[in-house]
Amino acid sequence: SPAQKLVFNRVNGKRPQVLLQQVSAPEECYTLAHEENVRFIYEAWQQVEQQLDGSRSGESACGPVQYVEKNPNPGLKNFVPIDLEEWWAQQFLAKIENCS
């Protein structure tokens, strides 16, 4: 059977402010502007995903269009995109383990 995947459920689909502080390593320093940029991009991407889901289910005739390459690069046939949710979960657990 496939390995279990750790899932963090978010309230209203947003990452809690406390989680961002816990995930940050002590040597990393995020400015307020950086956090605002990350929040803006995250929220904008959530809107795009919702619009894509709506266009797939036939709710809207216009909206974002997902790009699909007509001639895929053969060098990328084994490419596996990183799962950021899983990566953040691993970072979070590693920090917990290091603190205990």
pLDDT tens sequence across 41-95: 999 999 988 888 877 666 666 777 778 888 988 988 888 888 888 899 999 999 8
Give domain status of residue 45, yes or no. Answer: yes
Domain range for 38: 31-59
Give domain status of residue 68, yes or no. Answer: no
Give domain status of residue 50, yes or no. Answer: yes
3-state secondary structure of 87: helix
Give domain status of residue 89, yes or no. Answer: no
Give domain status of residue 5, yes or no. Answer: no
Q: What is the count of structural domains for the chain?
A: 1
Tokens of 60: 């809207």
Burial class (CB in 10 A: 0-12, 13-18, 19+), 89: middle
Please indicate, yes or no, whether the overall pTM of this predicted structure exceeds 0.85: no
Binning pLDDT at 50, 70 and 90, where does residue 29 land? confident
Give domain status of residue 100, yes or no. Answer: no
